[in-house]
Chains A and B, each alone.
Chain A
Amino acid sequence: MAAPSSCLLWNYCGRGWSPAMLFCRLPGLRSSWPGGPLGARLLSHEKQSTETHFGFETVSEEEKGGKVYHVFESVAKKYDVMNDMMSLGIHRVWKDLLLRKMHPFPGTQLLDVAGGTGDIAFRFLNYIQAQHQRKQKRQLRAQQTLSWEEIAKKYHSEEDSLGGSHVMVCDINKEMLKVGKQKARAQGYKAGLAWVLGDAEELPFGDDKFDVYSIAFGIRNVTHIDLALQEAHRVLKPGGRFLCLEFSQVNNPLVSRLYDLYSFQVIPVMGEVIAGDWKSYQYLVESIRRFPPQEEFKEMIEDAGFQKVTYESLTSGIVAIHSGFKL
């Protein structure tokens, strides 16, 4: 069916509203328009609010966005502390492994979606810097016959240590971005970093712009995961890579029981004691259970047009890194 481009049709489809969706889409949105079920909805000409899940609750799609926004607004300040407490610091290892898999090089343009507090962005910048430093060391070691002046010049050179690399941190939530910016200031990250308010389902970027698209622990909170995947496909350059770090299904039955016990008994209590917020952390553990398992998510990524889709389970499947290429 032809891709409609009027705002009115958005109305009829009863899609969840977000500020980004209020302007009309341009005609070139072939890949962003899902097929069949929407066709039926258009024909019926009435505003249907489809239902979706919010943790174990059922809510309308319009509601979900607002509720998720609310959750992250209230957890933003304690987000990093709680991450450390809940995962006993293991989330740092997971994020490091994501970067290792990404293996960026100088000049990489990264888009980190739902990257609010900047964990992935900072790691990216560190990785590039470390590479640059290693390269400099190698060069110095190789050039044994330099004069003192030339060596001094090398140390003083204003050469861009990032080599043109750039990370764009995009998040739908203002509070999370605020925390991220504060962290960047406190830790001294300035060059190669940009912060943008945006919705993963409708990114404020043109087509074919980024080398890598990453989303860490964010995609399960998106109301329409398929739209987010399609947007990811759109903004990546041909040859670009999609990387997703997300909670997934545990493959070991014993670990699974311990994990469930810990998730449902301990985590909301921790949320209440440390952050004074039981409900947000209850939502967190429930939303993890609602997210599709590894294989199913792999298929969803393939449906969005990515190829060579693979996944790697970490910590018995508590999290998984999915990777796909736009070819």
Chain B
Amino acid sequence: MATLLRQALRPHRLPASPRPPADVPHRAGSHGVGLLYPDHIPTSLLQKALLAAGSAGMALYNPYRHDMVAVLGETTGHRTLKALRDQMRRDPEGAQILQERPRISLSTLDLGKLQSLPEGSFGREYLRFLDVNRVSPDTRAPTRFVDDEELAYVIQRYREVHDMLHTVLGMPTNILGEIVVKWFEAVQTGLPMCILGALFGPVRLSARSLQVLVSELIPWAVQNGRRAPCVLNLYYEQRWEQPLKALQEELGITPPPVDLKGLV
């Protein structure tokens, strides 16, 4: 029992590395020793449990704490991320993504080129989405608490693809739009954080929005989520020129039943 407890308290590390003497508190230095990727913070099972509970509570209490939603995703998603990663490996485009590890940020996007693309193309619509909603791809927090570096990339990719999903689904970044996208992602990825977000997000909605959400938006999101292939398998960076409508057809995504900009 005592050894089990001690194991739960040690930060997770690679199995081959030698362990320090028991009960000596350990922290990997910032010089990269013991870290699997630059922002990695090794955590024990107990710490992950506490983080999951704390971040869930804080995210509900203060919905502006996006970092808490991210932490919740990282601490609860281990098994699901593995399944997602395996799914990506089986798909040719997904496998390419895993190998090349593209990142979406202002420094990697060629905004000038996106601007020059024809109207209706995916790249142009994505840029319009960023402008209209005044968001930037750089606000995504880096992964910290995932103890496997490939899975850390998978969750990072999932976060960076989130804005693409907004564009493809035609959802704005207000709270209703976010919940709809969360439902879509919950069905698509099965991440516990998405499921929890989808179930508990609507708690703060007005009655009217809630009604629209439940009667039309959720069924639409769930249907599309089931029909579409795994969205993480799309190499979005290679599809900027593809017309948005063609992309939506490829994924089997229908236009939204309600215009959300009037609501909320």
Contacts and interface: CB of A to CB of B under 8 A. Distances in A.
Q: Decide whether A and B assemble into one complex.
A: yes
B169 to A, nearest CB: 29
Contact of A265 (B29, B50, B144): B50
Interface string A276-307: 10110010001001000000000000000000
B30 A273 contact: no
B71 interface: yes
A272 interface: yes
B55 A265 contact: no
Contact of B30 (A57, A264, A276): A57
Contact of B44 (A260, A263, A265, A279): A265
Q: Is the interface of A mostly helix, strand, loop or mixed?
A: helix
B240 to A, nearest CB: 34
Q: Which of B29, B44, B68 has the most CB of A within 10 A?
A: B29
A264 B54 CA distance: 16
Q: Which of B23, B51, B65 has the most CB of A within 10 A?
A: B51
A290 to B, nearest CB: 11
Interface string A209-231: 00000000000000000000000
Q: Which of A57, A272, A282, A286 has the most CB of B within 10 A?
A: A272
Contacts of A264: 9, 25
Interface string B23-60: 10111011000000000010010110011001101100
Interface residues of A, number: 23
Contacts of B57: 273
A273 B25 contact: no
A276 B67 contact: yes
Contact of B25 (A278, A279, A289): A289
A57 B29 contact: yes
Nearest to B8: A265
A165 B144 CA distance: 50
A268 B47 contact: yes
Contact of B50 (A57, A266, A286, A289): A266
Interface string A250-274: 0000000100110111101110111
Contact of B54 (A58, A261, A263, A269): A269
B140 to A, nearest CB: 15
A56 interface: yes
Contact of B71 (A58, A270, A272, A289): A272
Interface string A43-71: 00000000000011110000000000000
Q: Which of B25, B26, B41 has the most CB of A within 10 A?
A: B25
A268 B42 CA distance: 12
Interface string B58-98: 10000001011001000000000000000000000000000
A147 to B, nearest CB: 60
A265 B46 contact: yes
Contacts of B71: 272-273
Contacts of B55: 272-273
Q: Which of A263, A273, A279, A286 has the most CB of B within 10 A?
A: A273
Contact of A269 (B29, B50, B144): B50
A199 B54 CA distance: 37
Given A273-B68, A276-B65, A265 B47 contact: yes
A269 B75 CA distance: 12
A63 to B, nearest CB: 11
Contacts of B9: 261, 264-265
B68 A269 contact: no
Contacts of A257: 23
B128 to A, nearest CB: 31
Contacts of B46: 265
A270 B54 contact: yes
B51 A273 contact: yes
A272 B44 CA distance: 15
Contacts of B65: 276
Interface of B: 9, 23, 25-27, 29-30, 41, 44, 46-47, 50-51, 54-55, 57-58, 65, 67-68, 71, 144
The 7 lowest CB-CB distance pairs between A and B, nearest first, are A273-B54, A269-B50, A264-B25, A57-B29, A56-B27, A273-B58, A265-B46
7 contacts: A57-B29, A58-B29, A263-B25, A265-B9, A272-B51, A272-B54, A286-B25
